[in-house]
Structure 1
Amino acid sequence: MLRYVLRRLALAAVQLCLLAVLVFLLTSLLPGDAATVSFNELATPQQISEARHAMGLDQPLAERFVHWAGGLLTGDLGTSLVGHGPVSAVLTGSLAVTAVLAVLTVVVLVPLATALGLLTGLREGSHLDRAVSAVVLFLNSVPDFVLALFLVAVVSLRLGWLPSTWVGVDGGGWWDRPQLLVLPVAVLLARTVCLLSRQIRAGTIDAVQAGYVAQARRLGVRRRALVLRHVLPNAAVPGIQELARAGDQLLGGVLIVEAVFAVPGSATALVEAVRSRDVPTVQALTLLLAALALLLNVAADVACQRLAPRAEVLR
């Protein structure tokens, strides 16, 4: 298992290095740069040239990449071309809000999807299974932005139960208004809980029909112990794999949620950085989100191997 973990981490490190090269090349293809965006149409070519030189944008592409990659190895994410401060300071406030949204979503997602998957899988074909499956399939077919706009129109504007926007709330002001988190988390939960519960349901059905479960019943194992010790660990394997994919979807869903609800998170910071051509901030945010997705996939693979190890891993 240790050898497997080290091998997966090494592969993730190689993927991250290749992604860093790709991110740098793609950001270099953005039309215009921070020097041209920061000036108005009355700026002279000399002023733009001086600003580009001060920002280091007139250096060769290879030289800029070596400087940027060397900074990454030492933990230096670079300097913002707009705020002229360290990029790490820009990320601190925005990532905190995004992390809270993601963590709250996962905290609610895992037990809810597990309960729904087990409940419907153990009662396959029942009225409850059909009702839950119908609701799950319906929610899974609704795009995130449509659900977000629907909740804003009904829950916020019509009923007035919850706030519809984070406008006027800075990165730390939401602590005093936790109700701001309800609608964004609900939107992030809708599709991910559907996908995860379906996978756990399928794993539960396969586990219930397995021979070892039938043998455990013959030996008189109680139903609760049978479900928790024999069915759930094997049903959780496809669920954990789906959770890793759901994590990738959460990163994309956060973009939509933060845009609709005006959440001052990492997605908002990324959009603003692209708009102002703040390339170091774009590179740092993109690479950091990619690293989180890679780590999540590695953790899911390790958890699956721990619950249901394959023969090639044990050699």
Structure 2
Amino acid sequence: MIGYIARRLLLGVVQVLLVAAGVFALTEALPGDAAVTIAGDNPDPAVIAGLREQLGLNRPVGERFAEWLAAAAHGDLGTSLVAPRPVSEVIGSAFGPSLLLAVLALALLIPLATGLGMLAARREGGRLDRAITSTTLGLYAAPEFAMAVLLVTVFAVQLGWFPPTAVGGSLTANPALLVLPVLVLLLRPICSLSRLVRAGAIDAQRAPHVEHVRRLGLSPTRIRVFHVLPNAAAPAVQQLARTADWLLGGVIVVEAIFVVPGLGTALLDAVSARDLPVVQGLALVFACTTVLVNLGADITARALSPTSEVGR
């Protein structure tokens, strides 16, 4: 296991470096540069030249990339071009709301999806199985923005039960602001995750070791919890990792509709303002998050089902 973790960490470092190089190259290829953005409308060429020299944009791209990467390794992601503060501070202030949404969504997603999947697998092809399958497929086909607009129209505008957006409110002081965004975040992942748990549980119920413990007279509940569930959960852990990465990376559509000041909103603002240091910093944070989350998922899946190919 230690060798496996070391190999995955090394692969993750390579992936992060490739993402960082790709993002830096793409932002450099965009028309204009930071000096033009800072100069604003009707810029003076002399002012732009001075800004380029001040920002070091007249130096070779490779030299600037190496300097940026070395600074990023020490936690220095540069300074925002829009707000006079470090990029790490911009990302840190936006990370809290995204993390809060992600934690709440995952805390509800894991038990709900596992319970639905195990419930559907109890009687394969039965009425309950067909009802859960039909409902989850229907919800999964609905786009997030459509479900968000529908929920806001019904529960915020017509019924007035929840605030329509988070504008002017604190997510921690007013938990009602979190209800609709978290519900939208749950709809699609709970469908895909419950389907994977269902499929894994059906396969596990037919496994020889489960048949053996069933012949030994163990109760159905004990068999499902201790023998079926671990094998059913192993494949679903991979999907859960992708969902966690999707949530931590900032769900742009959901945050934009509900005006949540998270990472997705920060990315949209940085792109629209051509704030390239913030875009590069966010890309690096997203890459690191993806590597760490998937590493944790692979280790968990391998621990749950050591004999399977999941996480190898």
Q: Normalized against structure 1, the TM-score is what?
A: 0.93
- Counterpart-to-counterpart distance in 1, 2:208 and 2:305: 16
Q: How far does residue 252 in structure 1 lie from its aligned partner after superposition? A: 6.7
Structure 1 range deviating more: 59-68 or 139-148: 59-68
Number of equivalent positions = 310
Q: Give the secondary structure class of the aligned counterpart of 1:138.
A: helix
- Counterpart-to-counterpart distance in 1, 2:55 and 2:158: 49
The alignment status of 1:103 with 2:100, answered yes or no, reads no
Answer whether contact 1:32 1:277 (CA < 8 A) is retained: no
Specify which structure has the bigger relative contact order, considering alpha-carbon pairs within 8 angstroms and separated by 6 or more residues. 1
Partner of 1:212: 209
Supply the AA of the counterpart residue of 1:94. A
Supply the AA of the counterpart residue of 2:234. V
Q: How far does residue 127 in structure 1 lie from its aligned partner after superposition? A: 1.2
Partner of 1:122: 122
Gaps of 5+ in 2: none
Q: How far does residue 129 in structure 1 lie from its aligned partner after superposition? A: 1.1
- Counterpart-to-counterpart distance in 1, 2:135 and 2:309: 40
Partner of 1:131: 131
- Counterpart-to-counterpart distance in 2, 1:312 and 1:253: 30
Selected match of 1:272 from 249, 269, 273: 269
Residues 147-192 of structure 1: CA deviation (Å, up to 9, x unaligned): 11111111111111111112223xxx22111111111111111000
Q: How far does residue 111 in structure 1 lie from its aligned partner after superposition? A: 0.6
Residues 55-110 of structure 1: CA deviation (Å, up to 9, x unaligned): 33333211210110110222212122222321111111101111111111111111
- Counterpart-to-counterpart distance in 2, 1:310 and 1:226: 19
Q: How far does residue 33 in structure 1 lie from its aligned partner after superposition? A: 2.5
Identity of aligned residues (%): 48
Answer whether contact 1:38 1:276 (CA < 8 A) is retained: no
- Counterpart-to-counterpart distance in 1, 2:267 and 2:99: 15
- Aligned Cα RMSD in Å? 1.8
- Counterpart-to-counterpart distance in 2, 1:253 and 1:77: 19
Selected match of 1:227 from 221, 224, 228: 224
Partner of 2:297: 300
Q: Normalized against structure 2, the TM-score is what?
A: 0.94
Answer whether contact 2:249 2:263 (CA < 8 A) is retained: no
- Counterpart-to-counterpart distance in 1, 2:261 and 2:207: 49
- Counterpart-to-counterpart distance in 1, 2:59 and 2:255: 35
Partner of 1:57: 57
Supply the AA of the counterpart residue of 1:188. L
The alignment status of 1:166 with 2:163, answered yes or no, reads no
Residues 312/255 of structure 1: CA separation in 2 closer, same or farther (3 Å cut):
closer
Gaps of 5+ in 1: none
Q: Give the secondary structure class of the aligned counterpart of 2:41.
A: coil
